[in-house]
Amino acid sequence: MKKGNSFLTLNFLGIFFLVSTLIAQGDFNLEDLNPNSSTYGQVIGPDDYLGDICIVFFGHEY
């Protein structure tokens, strides 16, 4: 690999990670609508589960 190509690749990766950090998912809070949940009816968000593995699913029911 040429030296110029390596520099361009590093530049691209640096810009990519900077932009992806700036446009990452922001924090949000929603009401828990799951009647089987211990937090049913409460307003919760991902920040309530810091340090835990959190899978967020936005399902749609017709």
Distance CA 47, CA 35 (A): 21
Residue 62: pLDDT over 80: no
Residue 10 main-chain phi, psi, to 5 deg? -65, -40
Alpha-helical segments (H) within the chain: 3-22
Query: Tokens 């009401």 — which residue?
Result: 31
Q: 34, 23, 24: which is closest to 59 by C-alpha?
A: 34
Q: How sure is the predictor about 1, in pLDDT bands with cuts at 50, 70 and 90? A: low
pLDDT value for 42: 96
If one compares 31 and 20, the residue with the highest pLDDT of the two is 31
The predicted model gives 5-24 an average pLDDT of 79
Residue 30: pLDDT over 60: yes
The predicted model gives 34-55 an average pLDDT of 90
